[in-house]
Amino acid sequence: MSHARAVQAEAARRLTAAGVASPETDAALLLAHVLGVSRGNLVLVDEVAAEQEAAYDALVRRRVAREPLQHLTGTAAFRHVELAVGPGVFVPRPETELLAGWAIEEALARAADGVRPVVVDLCTGSGAIARAVADEVPDARVHAVELDESAWAWAARNLADTGVDLRQGDMADAFSDLDGSVDVVACNPPYIPVEAWESVAPEARDHDPALALWSGQDGLDAFRVLERTAARLLRPGGVLGAEHADAQGDSAPAVFVATGRWQDVRDHRDLAGRPRFTTARLAR
């Protein structure tokens, strides 16, 4: 038996030395996972059994090697839902909750007008945005598409029994049956320039699917496809929201401005003040 706080502190020290961004938090969450308790209840644990300590050490070693925390626990929290994640799917980030929140607010506004909103989540990945919308806007008709087969399988697991219409395919030609009828399109597309490989955190670069990360020389290839797809899907006056890299606060909105098909094009910042997602309204 070992003292729980000492075991956790040593793990945090090892994670700090490895350059992990949130070592104390990760050490606590991994220990809570091994012990089968909530993080808040760790303070009630005094001792860690030898077999639990061995399991914890194995997970900490994998995190030191920069395997994503969510791959080790098998779950990722996203707004009010918990998603199953692992190898083969992009792990949803907290900043994407802002885009999901925007989509939810837009859908709720339509519902308040007596309309059953139609929402499409392109490049759904784990199904995070679609799941959040279905959870918080029960009257919405939610559709989602994912190209990558492995990611689609994770989305199918996360969207089971939610009523979401999940399809496998390319967003470029997805949902032709919905053309001109969609109220809200949300998308967290790949947006990292190929040349930025060295600057990407190992957790993403080495573990997230390549299809979810890279998007041409300027990182905006998927945005150009998204602009065309959203213009096809949305009803006149319908809205689009898309996440982008913090260096794309000007270039991402410019993709929509350049076509002349969009009104109210604006960019939104995340909680750290960094440019994070673009919204636009299809001209009537």
Q: CATH number of the domain that 165 lies in?
A: 3.40.50.150
Q: At 197, is the pLDDT very low, low, confident or very high (cuts 50, 70, 90)?
A: very low
Of the listed ranges 15-29, 66-80, 180-194, the least confidently predicted one is 180-194
Based on the domain organization, do 153 and 263 belong to the same domain? yes
- Look at residue 19 and tell me if it is in a domain: yes
- CATH number, domain of 49, equals 1.10.8.10
pLDDT at 209: 47
Angle (nearest 5°) at CA 195 between 191 and 199: 80
Based on the domain organization, do 80 and 24 belong to the same domain? no
236 is in an annotated binding site: no
189 is in an annotated binding site: yes
Share of the chain above pLDDT 90, in %: 60
End-to-end CA distance of the chain: 68
> With contact defined as beta carbons under 8 Å apart, do 239 and 184 qualify?
yes
Q: Is the pLDDT of residue 207 over 50?
A: no
- Look at residue 99 and tell me if it is in a domain: yes
Give residue 64's identity as a one-letter amino acid code: V
Based on the domain organization, do 24 and 89 belong to the same domain? no
Which domain, by its residues, includes 230? 76-282
> With contact defined as beta carbons under 8 Å apart, do 148 and 212 qualify?
yes
Based on the domain organization, do 57 and 180 belong to the same domain? no
158 is in an annotated binding site: no
Based on the domain organization, do 55 and 184 belong to the same domain? no
The tokens describing 210, both together, are 């390549």
**Tally of domains within the chain:** 2
- Look at residue 70 and tell me if it is in a domain: no
* Structural domain ending residue among the three candidates 65, 85, 110: 65
* Structural domain ending residue among the three candidates 14, 45, 65: 65
56 is in an annotated binding site: no
Q: Which of 212, 129, 220, 122 is nearest to 171 (CA)?
A: 122
pLDDT at 267: 96
For 159-183, the DSSP string reads HTTTT-EEEES-GGGTTGGGTT-EE
For 38-96, what is each residue's pLDDT tens digit? 888 888 888 888 889 899 999 999 889 888 888 889 899 999 999 999 988 888 988 99
188 is in an annotated binding site: yes
Based on the domain organization, do 202 and 114 belong to the same domain? yes
Place of tokens 């009257």: 139
Based on the domain organization, do 55 and 126 belong to the same domain? no
For 109-149, what is each residue's pLDDT tens digit? 999 999 999 999 999 999 999 999 999 999 999 999 999 99
Based on the domain organization, do 267 and 184 belong to the same domain? yes
- Look at residue 200 and tell me if it is in a domain: yes
Q: Is the pLDDT of residue 163 over 60?
A: yes
Based on the domain organization, do 165 and 146 belong to the same domain? yes
- Look at residue 227 and tell me if it is in a domain: yes
Q: Is the pLDDT of residue 212 over 80?
A: no
